[in-house]
């Protein structure tokens, strides 16, 4: 079937067995029928490094993704803020291709800009500082040189801190900044469609940026729903596997 699917913010982890089962079922059924699946970041709740691939939980997920790509569905993965350490070993094991953030694609004749979305949350100055640090290749190299158990402990600490900080941050600060969205679209010559995740605020926004009509589609997360965006020749529709 000529369909392309987009998902993000699945936040897979062993502590969420129901979402894990739902996701594996989604791969084996809905996605198997599609020509391409784009995972736009935060597939995992966290990723400490590709040396964590032998973990049995990770092996189950890799097997599901590998079966999918071997059956002929193209698989693209973009880093999120939680799984930005997913590396080439993971991609190879899954038969996936890593996409830079942002990426421009042609989708049934339409130019579409893809991004995870965290870079657009510029009102959260403290987060952007943290983001710059963890995207620094030198920082990543030093971090990955530590033993896996140390990395996992540090990530657990960071996650706890982030949860605490989030409770003090306003809703507005954690959303995308309209100026940052306009700038990004301008940098790419105003593509008619931008798709991103990260904020978990599933919605479709019609934008007019200096005379250019653009739509911004925000993907949903996988907590109360199993939402995905289904695109074909006729356009894009939000779907929810929990509703079917
Ligand atoms: Mn995110």
Query: How many A from CA of 43 to the centre of ligand 1?
Result: 9
CATH code of the domain covering residue 178: 3.60.21.10
Whether pLDDT at 167 is above 90: no
Ligand 1 centre distance from Cα of residue 116 (Å): 7
Q: How many domains does the chain have?
A: 1
pLDDT digits (tens, 9 = 90+) for 181-233: 999 999 999 999 999 999 999 999 999 999 999 999 999 999 989 999 999 99
- Residues 17 and 24 sit within 8 Å (Cβ to Cβ): no
Q: Apex CA 187: angle with CA 186 and CA 190, to 5°?
A: 40
- Report how far ligand 1's centroid is from the alpha carbon of 44 (Å): 10
Q: How far is the CA of 82 from the centre of ligand 1 (A)?
A: 6
Residue range(s) defining the domain that contains residue 105: 4-241
Beta bridge partners, 36, equal: 4, 74
Query: pLDDT category, 1, cuts 50, 70, 90?
Result: low
Q: Which is nearest to 43 in space by CA: 150, 68, 215? A: 68
Average pLDDT rounded to a whole number, residues 165-194: 94
Task: Dump the DSSP string for 3-26.
Answer: -EEEE----B-TT-HHHHHHHHHH
pTM attached to this predicted model: 0.97
Residue 243 scores a pLDDT above 90: no
Q: Per-residue pLDDT averaged across 163-188, rounded?
A: 93
Average the pLDDT over 46-69 and give the result: 98
Q: How far is the CA of 41 from the centre of ligand 1 (A)?
A: 7
* Backbone dihedral region for residue 97 (phi beyond 0: left; psi -120 to 50: alpha; all else: beta): beta
What's the gap in Å between 9 CA and the centre of ligand 1? 6
For residue 197, how far is its CA from the centre of ligand 1 (angstroms)?
7
């Amino acid at each position: 079937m000529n369909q392309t699917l987009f998902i993000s913010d699945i936040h897979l982890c062993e502590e969420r067995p129901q979402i894990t089962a739902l996701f594996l079922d989604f791969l084996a059924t809905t996605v198997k029928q599609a020509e391409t699946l784009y995972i736009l970041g935060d597939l995992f709740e966290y990723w400490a490094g590709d040396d964590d691939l032998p973990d049995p939980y990770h092996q189950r997920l890799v097997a599901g993704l590998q079966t999918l790509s071997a059956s002929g569905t193209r698989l693209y993965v973009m880093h999120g803020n939680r799984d930005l350490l997913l590396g080439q070993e993971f991609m190879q094991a899954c038969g996936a291709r890593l996409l830079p953030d942002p990426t421009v694609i042609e989708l049934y004749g339409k130019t579409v800009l893809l991004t995870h979305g965290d870079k657009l949350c510029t009102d959260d100055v403290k987060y952007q500082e943290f983001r710059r640090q963890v995207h620094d290749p030198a920082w990543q190299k030093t971090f990955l040189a530590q033993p896996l158990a140390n990395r996992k402990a540090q990530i657990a600490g960071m996650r706890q801190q982030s949860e605490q900080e989030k409770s003090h941050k306003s809703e507005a600060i954690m959303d995308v900044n309209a100026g940052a969205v306009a700038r990004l679209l301008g940098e790419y010559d105003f593509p008619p469609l931008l798709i991103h995740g990260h904020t978990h605020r599933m919605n479709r926004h019609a934008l007019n940026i200096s005379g250019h009509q653009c739509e911004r589609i925000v993907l949903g997360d996988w907590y109360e729903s199993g939402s995905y965006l289904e695109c074909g020749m006729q356009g894009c529709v939000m779907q929810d596997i929990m509703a079917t």
